[in-house]
Amino acid sequence: MTQQRLSESGFPLRPVYGPDDLPGNPPEEPGEYPFTRGVYPTMYTSRPWTMRQYAGFGTAAESNARYHQLLNAGTMGLSVAFDLPTQMGFDSDESIASGEVGKVGVAIDSIDDMRRLFHEIPLDKVSTSMTINAPGAVLLLLYQLVAEEQGVSGKALNGTIQNDILKEYIARGTYIYPPKPSLRLVADTFAYCRDEIPKWNTISISGYHMAEAGATPVQEIAFTLANGIEYVRAAIAAGLGVDEFAPRLSFFFVARTTLLEEVAKFRAARRIWARVMKEDFGAKDPKSWMLRFHTQTAGVQLTAQQPEVNLVRVAIQGLGAVLGGTQSLHTNSFDEAIALPTAKAARLALRTQQVLAYETDLTAVVDPFAGSYVVEALTSEIETEALALIDRVFGYGSAVDAIEAGFQKREIESSAYRVALEIDNAERIVVGVNRFTLETEDHYEPLRVDPAIEAEQCARLQTLRAERDNDAVEAALAKLRDAAAGTANVLYPMKEALRARATVGEVSHALRAVWGVYRPSDRF
């Protein structure tokens, strides 16, 4: 007797689905509340999704060269990866940064680096996503300052900062400040962008990193939407009207190889968010009800063994994202389980999206799986389970209270442990790892970051501090500390400090001096 297969989220998958498995009400039209079938009536029939490739390594000049390569290859938007010191609000010449400068992304220490990063890239013509959280406001302001030097107004800028600090406490760890001041910084960013950069997506509420840490599809959307609710509450508590900021909220999800469940996950997430915003928060603007999201294919599913097989995985994952109605997509390079992607691998990842967009008939129809017995049934099952899990989160009082109690982290770690056991026991097949293996792997030459860039970056910082007006920098940082200690929006004095050539680390240290740093409990 064949053992019944379970979905990634743990419910039974039936070999055959039929009319009795459909939910009671027929699905609405695309572009209509609650947007199960997509947030726009025409979806990709009028234009394809934004093809956005995540890139950044070494120095700003090296990353700038890669961006020009990607733009020339047909990328529609840039997505910036920052190195760990930048993500943690440290300068490249601080002792804690030693050995990490430029390794997993580009090192950005000051406005000088941001100028190099976007050299000869017209910022009014590209959409830029920046994967940065705790110092998200700092990098956004540097971007705005460089745009202004190009003669581009903040009103013309398009893009996204991730700025999702809550998931850092749950799954990723690049936090700086405690949750409450971190939420204040997020709300200040919402208010600043409403007035100064109105087309900017002020947050990308992320389930991707929780999924990479082991969250199931249900956990991914439940914990992500719970965090989204917490951000909405924080913004309203700061005096913003829900329709003033909600249309600029965006989300970020993973796409796994379990294609059918992933499509259903995206549809369920849209439906839940629309109802939360309209019914719970009373949003009146239909744009406030729309869950718009970026997708990245699942890095955690890539293997160092037989890495070329990752090309197949990424194609399937990208297909799931498109069938699920994503607004933008990053396809991982096949060699990312080994090292930073080579230029050829990054180009192949982009070509994967281009084949999906231009060689298939995916862009000819809206929501191809609408009415599918299995997808409609899975959508409803995921919705039900995710809503129950959201209720468990808020049973602690708030998403922050649940984080501080370790709830989300424990749930994700339990799921990750289960999957690891299944792989170890060959109950879950991973091609090239526990089945269909090779005795000898082909040699592959990975991209390596030159360790000399750390010394170069430190030298540039030394030059910057010698050339700038240090009294002006200190005066600007004092104003930033005063704002942080009070209730004023901290982004305005922060921008002036950065304009005076204060560094990312100096600005972050000014806030650390007032807000402190977060130390996780040893209870979990």
pLDDT of residue 323: 98
Residues of the chain where predicted confidence (pLDDT) is lower than 70: 1-2, 522-524
pLDDT of residue 9: 93
Q: At what angle do helices 309-323 and 259-275 cross, to 10 degrees?
A: 30
Topology at the third CATH level for domain 32-361+398-424: TIM Barrel (3.20.20)
* Residues 57 and 449 sit within 8 Å (Cβ to Cβ): yes
Phi, psi at 105, each rounded to 5°: 175, -175
Residues 6+ apart with CB under 8 A from 3: none
* Residues 514 and 481 sit within 8 Å (Cβ to Cβ): yes
pLDDT of residue 76: 77
pLDDT of residue 200: 96
pLDDT of residue 11: 87
Which residue in 124, 140, 265 sits closest to 207, CA to CA?
A: 265
pLDDT of residue 371: 92
pLDDT of residue 216: 98
